[in-house]
Structure 1
């Protein structure tokens, strides 16, 4: 089911050099006495995937935000290669790509325009940006939507567009919050193949996922997350 090689396997964005080690030690979060995440620990290295499992509201998204450096934990610490994770730090931003909620989209830019903008932000070659963007969109099977605007996409198409925005930038860590949502069985298999290729290329993945087939294919370890 996951054996087909994607068209952009050899064209994956270049990640910052060197292996990575992302670790959370007894990370917890509470706000005004309400526990959003009970203390949780995990570690993931280059070429590995940790899948987060738990009921809705258990704290998976909160944990991913802590790992991305966008939310400060109430207890414990999250470290990337031994340094605190902080989205304001250029080193964190350069290495961590995350899909946590819906990314910002611009009403007057087409789907392919958004990818070219992402590419230019991360120092991509302007002369090949359109071609590489088209290849990724073809791999996700939405290349026929390249000239549409985000608000013209269906729910499932928007999810693939959001995934494309994250996958098109260089990163050595991918944090994905239920990337399978709103995707049919075929598209879930397609996404699984792409993520397996990113693992094989040396990326470290932490994925919150409810799909047992994706979990079985991707996970080196499964971490059960619970709230208060």
Structure 2
């Protein structure tokens, strides 16, 4: 079955009774949800409710103790290049090279994933421009303010191709103006058919983006 027919029939992201336990500690109680292409799911809950754990399971960096997850109809596997191509995730500050500038980093990420050099350059420039980083291209990451660093890491996640975007608290360290800008950027990805999953404490971002909410504090 083609990707087109598969994604038309199935959610882009499907989570079926996924739970995570470490020893005697429940990190994520059994959770079921789904995200369609062109939809934003906002995950809410108090600290420790399991938001980050759920996102790590979706991104394939943590295995569930129970239940199952599929992305594009296929099981989650970081060893599968197609899975890695489908999913872009920001789950914390990524490692950076001290001798590469902001622009160097973003262009390198884009070049890793695009076969066409022109497409890679265009995608990198678009990500930097959308987030207002044009004036910071020649700076090194350690020279950025905390808010600028957050926008830079978002640009790294947006510069590459993906069908599913997973973001853990993308509003961190951003003022209200930049939170709105991030929301507008993510809304454009939704309009392009991307399935977006965001864990956030921001009511402003939730109001701006959420097609559906998953509140981990209110599960039955």
2:183 equivalent in structure 1: 192
1:138 equivalent in structure 2: 129
User: Aligned partners of 1:157, 1:150: CA distance in 2, in Å?
Assistant: 9
1:86 equivalent in structure 2: 77
Structure 1: segments with no counterpart, 5+ residues: 1-16
Higher relative contact order (CA 8 A, sep 6+): 1
Q: CA deviation at 1:211?
A: 1.0
Alpha-carbon RMSD? 1.7
1:182 equivalent in structure 2: 173
User: Aligned partners of 2:122, 2:67: CA distance in 1, in Å?
Assistant: 44
Taking structure 2 as the reference length, the TM-score comes to 0.90
Of 66, 69, 84, 2:57 maps to 66
Q: CA deviation at 1:133?
A: 2.8
CA contact (8 A) 1:78 1:84 kept: yes
User: Aligned partners of 1:109, 1:218: CA distance in 2, in Å?
Assistant: 33
User: Aligned partners of 2:102, 2:179: CA distance in 1, in Å?
Assistant: 20
Query: Any residues of structure 2 matched to 1:1-228 within 5 Å, and which?
Result: 18=4, 19=7, 21-127=12-118, 129-130=120-121, 132-226=123-217
Taking structure 1 as the reference length, the TM-score comes to 0.87
CA contact (8 A) 1:119 1:129 kept: yes
Change (3 A) 1:59 1:177: same
Change (3 A) 1:127 1:24: closer
What is the number of residues matched between the two proteins?
211
Q: Deviations over 1:188-222 (max 9, x none)?
A: 11110111111011000110011112111211110
Structure 2: segments with no counterpart, 5+ residues: none
The structure with more helix, counted as a fraction of residues: 2
